[in-house]
Chains A and B, each alone.
Chain A
Amino acid sequence: MPHPFVVLMGKAVRYAARLRGGGSALPGLFVEKISPDFIKNTLAPLPHGVVVISGTNGKTTTTKMVVALLEAQGLRVFTNRTGSNFTRGVAAALLKEVDMKGNLAADIAVLELDEAHAVKFVQTIPPRYSLILNVMRDQLDRFGEIDATAQMLEKITSATSEAIVLNREDPRIRRIGDHDAAHRVSYFGLSDDLLATFPNDDDMRNSSIKTTQRPNADVLLSSYEHDSATFKIAGKDYTTSLKITGVYNVFNAAAAIALTQTVLDNEFNIQKTMDALAEVTPAFGRGETLRIGGQPLELVLVKNPSGFRLGLKSFSPTGYATMIAINDNYADGRDMSWLWDVDFDSLANEGVSEVSGVRAYDMALRLQYDEVAITHIEPELSIALRQFIETNKDTPKRIYCTYTAMLTLRKELSKMTKVEVIS
């Protein structure tokens, strides 16, 4: 089918879907069906090509940072900012951005893709650059095992035409670079001091620092305090203030800088990059802060044990009321084993005010074995949220939640305060 017709019909479906108040993926699914080449044809003319960002944790925040950094240096960037990181999510986002002739006014596309979908995507659309963040235990019931997921990620780098950016501190990701001779390889890393506070799945139960030989990091996160960070780039230290929070988000800032440097090469401007980074705000549900009744309420998305452990480590519970909401829908992962790989000792002093979600009692059981006190357990999210806010009127609040629990909570919160609408 000729390109303009596909665009026209896709836009019509998108309009109809929005009238119905439906999801963002339907128009993408439609275009995918009637013209499998739609994405390829639309992205092919971009002068700087396509960037794929994948890995278990931090894709959304990192993509948001990369887009901001590239835009700050004058590039027009297309991205799938809906957080729908499947192929049809990309198609849906493209439909929104293209003109009626199907042309995309952009210099580069920056796409976050889920590991399994990225493998299929790169077969039809080989990226010019790829950034691989990490591989951790996420939804093992979907992908099987970590090593299998690492192999998927390697397929993404193999399909990349020009340059790849890798996490030096993740042994399975670093290994991809060890036997890659076909690309420019760039690494982002952590100083030894920070590395000690940054567990990966292999040393989860064993906090000794890795002393194995690591390649030189092109961008290194040297130090981090709650609202500023210092990065070492080409041997020189650069300090900037930050709006993003949590050490794992800040580590991903190093990834975003390394990718920006790789894409722009000689045109890369460090000062502009630092200035833009200082202004980036957290992506939704990744440490974003809302206000309820004059008090801050933070949403922290937790998808897997390493993410949950880093979240607990990044945000001090002192002075905060804590709620935990655990669902087990397909997008969350059905297996509850992962809760047993997180230590909740850090919450023992303050206790947990509210436990909710489909698997509220699994979470309560987990807390019982870490001897953490619980005030309320209420599986129904909307009731739990109101109870949580009511009980802790004058206290700052923090909610750790799985993906689908977060979507429900945001919907409930939007009835009480201004919440960024994701469409």
Chain B
Amino acid sequence: MSRPIHILQLYPQDMNIYGDHGNVLVLKRRLEWYGYEPIVTEYNVGDPFPKTVDIVIGGGGQDSGQEKIHKDLLKIAPKLRELADNNVPILVVCGLYQLFGNYFQTSKNTRLDGIGILDVETHGTNERLIGNIVTSTESFGEIIGYENHSGQTTLGQNVQPFATVIKGAGNNSQDGHEGARYKNVIGTYLHGSILPKNPQLADYFIEVAVRQRYEDFTPNVIDDLFTELARDVARERPR
């Protein structure tokens, strides 16, 4: 009874700076614990794009990492766009969140075109938004993490904010919202990593992916006590 679920990890070599490995590990383990067989494909610059993809995960990088992958990302953009339109769950954190937007203008005024799956734009600034962050969402309840970015993102007409900020900064220093969502594509600045601290989000990704491939999803129960206790501490820590 092996029921494979294919996870595509985008650019782990160049975009993995803030514990993004944790997001993949959480999906992998929870799938196993639920009785599925996770198959993780690492996609790096120049690799063949896999045929079967159920979930996509992408992380943050330094400016140099973003420049390295930029051309390749534009190349695979149509494939990612197709996955997004087909409701495939996609989580992009920090650097890849910015590049999933329309463009990223660095603080030195060079402009990197994004792939426009999320209708957002980002401007590099000299102000670093940094620290513990607590947000709330309608679909997933409270989302807790850590943010660290100097790019400030503003949302366009065709995208919803992912969360409302309770404590912290979020997309930028004015609007009070965090991240962006289009269908099942979620862009966010939260690491820490986000999925270990917010398993409800991981389970949503898993459920969507499993239902799309196998229709039925009847999960075992996972003991999330440590998660609850870790969230209780994180919520109260200084920024």
Question: What is the interface of chain A, defined by CB distance below 8 A to chain B?
Answer: 137, 140-141, 144-147, 202, 204-206, 328, 334-341, 358-359, 361-362, 364-366, 368-371, 377, 379
Contact = CB atoms under 8 A, between A and B. Distances in A.
B192 A337 contact: yes
B226 A141 contact: no
Given A336-B192, A337-B192, 14 more contacts: A141-B130, A141-B146, A144-B150, A145-B17, A204-B16, A335-B192, A337-B146, A340-B196, A358-B237, A362-B234, A364-B230, A365-B197, A369-B26, A377-B226
A377 B63 CA distance: 39
B25 to A, nearest CB: 5
Nearest to B148: A141
Interface in B136-169: 146, 148, 150
20 contacts: A141-B131, A144-B150, A145-B17, A146-B62, A147-B62, A204-B16, A205-B12, A334-B132, A334-B146, A334-B237, A335-B191, A336-B19, A339-B19, A340-B193, A341-B19, A359-B230, A361-B233, A362-B233, A369-B29, A377-B226
A141 B164 CA distance: 23
Contact of A205 (B18, B21, B197, B232): B21
B19 A359 contact: no
B230 A365 contact: yes
Contact of A147 (B18, B64, B191): B64
The B interface is mostly helix, strand or loop, or mixed, namely mixed
A32 B17 CA distance: 37
Nearest to A359: B233
A365 B193 contact: no
A334 B168 CA distance: 14
Contacts of B230: 359, 361-362, 364-365
Interface residues of B, number: 37
A340 B21 contact: yes
B226 to A, nearest CB: 4
Interface in B217-231: 226-227, 229-230
Contacts of A335: 18, 146, 148, 191-192
A364 B226 contact: yes
Interface of B: 12-13, 16-22, 25-26, 29, 42, 62-64, 128, 130-132, 146, 148, 150, 191-193, 196-197, 226-227, 229-230, 232-234, 237-238
A337 B12 contact: no
A330 to B, nearest CB: 9
Which of B12, B26, B146, B232 has the most chain A CB within a 10 Å cutoff?
A: B146
B22 A340 contact: yes
Contact of B13 (A145, A205, A334, A362): A205
B19 A338 contact: yes
B236 to A, nearest CB: 10
A337 B233 contact: no
Which of A146, A147, A361 has the most chain B CB within a 10 Å cutoff?
A: A361
Nearest to A330: B238
Contacts of A334: 131-132, 146, 237-238
Contacts of A379: 233
Contacts of A205: 12-13, 16, 21, 42
Given A340-B22, A358-B233, A366-B196, A145 B131 contact: no
A158 B10 CA distance: 37
Contacts of B64: 147
A145 B148 CA distance: 10
B20 to A, nearest CB: 8
A147 B64 CA distance: 8
Nearest to A335: B146
A377 B18 CA distance: 25
CB-based closest 9 A-B pairs: A340-B22, A337-B19, A340-B19, A361-B230, A361-B229, A365-B226, A337-B18, A145-B62, A364-B226
A337 B191 contact: yes
Nearest to B232: A361
A328 B132 CA distance: 11
Contacts of A338: 19
A339 B192 CA distance: 9
Contacts of B22: 337, 339-341, 366, 369
A264 B236 CA distance: 53
Nearest to B193: A340
A360 to B, nearest CB: 8
